[in-house]
Chains A and B, each alone.
Chain A
Amino acid sequence: MRVIVNGESLLLNQTREYSLLMLLQSLGYLSDSYEKSAPFVVAVNQKIITATQYRQTLLQEDDCIDILAAVTGG
């Protein structure tokens, strides 16, 4: 299954359902104990997904996942 993460194409070799939680863990955003390494926010196809929804959000082919965090700004 192919998804787009922060604008980059990513091929997921999954044999079963693949949740947002699994993706965030595999990319290092979440620790093994599901803790955030730093504050961030996620949108799937421009819809905000809160932390409590990571597990139940199952990714679909061509989903666009944006993972955003704080940066300096004017």
Chain B
Amino acid sequence: MDAFTIGAEKISSRLWLGSSLYPSPKVMGDAIQAASPGFVTVSLRRQSAMQLRQQVSEHGHWHILLQAVATSGSRLLPNTAGCHSAAEAVNLAQLARELFATRWIKLEVIGDDYTLQPHPLQLVEAARELIAQDFIVLPYCTDDLVLCSTLLELGCPAVMPWGAPIGTGRGLMNIYQLKTLRQRLADATLIIDAGIGKPSQAMAAMELGYDAVLLNTAVARAHDPVSMASAFRQAVDAGHMAYQAGLMVEREQAVASTPDIGKPFWQQAEVRL
């Protein structure tokens, strides 16, 4: 899978993967290996000393995740999942930077608990503050053009509009708007984050010219997450390759591919019913 850069940093893959919801730590690790993602998203929560020890034990999530990330060439991308205000998100991002020793942050500020739609105003406020604090901010946002432009102008090196609400698997709900974003923000790094349910939907995002996709549930909740991770990897690869190759322009009318010249006589005979 081809690498690309965000800011000055080389990202090894255009498929990014969440680390949640897998049936076991081992399956999570194997899925990460199969996907070879550019980033693996993680979070941080309150934990007791006992929970902490379980996490780092040989069969614990954290131990296996770190191994998989190291061997697949991925990076960790901490998120601010669950935050509902700029202040909460900034606090959690600071703790994430301390814990994971990275400036990268996937900025999430939720504005509606039912749809998990990002709060645009709080998101902008949090992004401004975190950029001032030298974070590399990748905001999870809606597909609103003005919001995405504002986040880029603030200094976000990429924006991550949703394809559909988190965990729904409904794919690219608003193709028109996503195309508009790609056209109007031609030089920006755009990543579809959330809502992808099938490899074909990830491929469609890449065919639109998006730079990467970030997903979790579609792989983690598959009957065979490892195979699904592999399927997504190939789909993202194929979609990006197709975009680079240049997709044909759709036409209203059928146009024969086979030349007319040199047809044998029987194809010219009148058809009798």
Contact = CB atoms under 8 A, between A and B. Distances in A.
A30 B19 CA distance: 27
- Most interface-central of A6, A28, A71, A72 (chain B CB within 10 A): A72
Interface in B54-71: 55-56, 61-62, 65
Contacts of A48: 94-95, 98
A72 B45 CA distance: 9
B21 interface: yes
Interface of A is mostly: loop
A57 to B, nearest CB: 15
For chain B, give the interface size range: 35 or more
A69 B46 CA distance: 6
B99 interface: yes
A72 B99 contact: no
Given A37-B53, A38-B55, A71 B45 contact: yes
Interface in B210-261: 216-217
Contacts of B62: 38-39, 69-70
B91 A72 contact: no
Contacts, number: 99
A12 interface: no
Interface stretch (B1-9, B36-44, B120-128, B146-154): B36-44
A73 B49 contact: no
A50 interface: yes
B51 interface: yes
B156 interface: no
Given A41-B98, A71-B44, A74-B18, A28 B81 contact: no
Contacts of A28: 49-50
Contacts of B94: 48
Contact of B217 (A37, A70, A74): A74
Given A6-B48, A41-B95, A48-B98, A72 B53 contact: no
B78 A73 contact: yes
A67 B99 contact: no
Interface string A33-47: 000011111010010
A6 B47 CA distance: 8
A24 to B, nearest CB: 9
A70 B42 contact: yes
Given A41-B44, A68-B44, A29 B166 contact: no
A6 B21 CA distance: 23
Interface in A55-71: 66-71
Given A38-B62, A74-B41, A74-B81, A69 B53 contact: no
Given A72-B18, A72-B19, 5 more contacts: A37-B52, A67-B46, A68-B47, A69-B44, A73-B43
